[in-house]
Amino acid sequence: MEKRCLLGLFSFAIFLAFDPAFAAQVEAITESGKPLIRKSSGGRPFTVNSTALSDRQLSATSRLARRYPWKTSIVTTVFWIGEQPTGNNPVPNRTSSWDKQWPRSYGGFDDPNPAHRSNYIPVKFKPRQNPFYCALPYNDKARTGHRPEAPRVVPWFKEAYQGPAVSTCKDRWVAIRKGNRTVYAQWEDAGPFRTDHWQYVFGNERPKPNLNKGAGLDVSPAVRDYLELNETDVTDWRFVNFSEVPRGPWSTLGENNTFVINGRKKGVKAR
C-alpha cells in the first residue's frame, strides 16, 4: 500500500512538471484569515497551506520593491512648515509647491525645537495635516496643468489624475529608513533646491550638487525625531503604495492623511 501511494505521488509530480498549463489555469479564491483554495480546470479544489500564501504575499512585496526601488545613501536635511530663509536654504517655507497657505493649512508653525515638541508634534497646537511629511526635488504641476513630461515619468499619474489643477504627487507615501528604523511620510513639497529633477525622483540618477552637500530629501521634524537624525544626515527612501504602510505615529493626524480619511469613511477613529 505504501509503495502504491509513493508511486501515485510520483506520477502526479510528473504530470505537473510536464503540464504547465495545468498550473496556469488555477485560480486563487482566498479570504482573509482562511486557507487559500485553488480551483483546477477540472473544478476539484485543493488547499495550499499558509506557507504558500506567505510566499505569494512576499512575491507581491518584491514586485512593488522592483517598481519603487530604494534610493540609498541620500543626503537628508530637515525642513519645517513656517521655516524662515537661511544662507543654505534661500526659500522660505511659508508656502509649498502645492499649497499657497501651508502654515494655515497645517495649523501653525511646525516648531523644530525639541524642547517645544512632544509625541512628534508641536506642544502649542494639534496639526491639521500629517506631521510626518517630506519634500523631493520634483513638482508635477506647471503654471497651468501639469509639466509635459509628468504623464510619462510619474508612475502612478494615470491612476491619481484628478484634473489639471490637482497634483498627482502631493500626499504620496514615502518610506524613509535609517539603520534598522523605518518611518513613513507623505510628500508635501518640492525640494530641496530643485523642482524638476524627475530623473532622480523617478529614475536612476543621483541628486544634483547643491549648497547642502547634494541633499536629495527634506524631512519634517517628526521624521527627524522618529529616526533620530542629525540636521544633515544620510538615509534611504522609496515610494510605497498605501497598502504597504503600517500603522504608527504617522497614521493618527491630518486631514490629508490616508488613514484618517479612510477611518472617517468607515466611522473609525485613526490610531
Give residue 222's pLDDT.
98
Residue 19 has pLDDT above 80, yes or no: no
Residue 48 has pLDDT above 60, yes or no: no
Worst-scoring range by mean pLDDT, 50-54, 66-70, 144-148, 190-194?
50-54
Q: Angle at Cα 88 formed by Cα 87 and Cα 89, nearest 5°?
A: 95
Give residue 67's pLDDT.
85
Give residue 93's pLDDT.
72
User: In the predicted model, what is the mean pLDDT of residues 60-87?
Assistant: 82
Give residue 9's pLDDT.
43
pLDDT tens digits, 131-189: 999 999 999 999 999 999 999 999 999 999 999 999 999 999 999 999 999 999 999 99
Q: Under the phi-then-psi rule, with left for phi > 0, alpha for psi from -120 to 50, and beta for the rest, what region is 80?
A: beta
User: In the predicted model, what is the mean pLDDT of residues 34-45?
Assistant: 34
Rg, Å, the chain Cα set: 24
Give residue 43's pLDDT.
35
pTM of the full structure: 0.75
Cα(199)–Cα(208) distance, rounded to whole angstroms?
Answer: 10
Superfamily (CATH H level) for 71-266: RlpA-like domain (2.40.40.10)
Residue 270 has pLDDT above 80, yes or no: no
Q: Which of 183, 93, 192, 175 is nearest to 139 (CA)?
A: 192
Q: By the 8 A CB rule, do 194 and 139 touch?
A: no
Q: Which pLDDT band, with edges at 50, 70 and 90, does 87 fall under?
A: low
Return residue ranges of the chain for CATH 2.40.40.10.
Answer: 71-266
Cα(144)–Cα(229) distance, rounded to whole angstroms?
Answer: 37
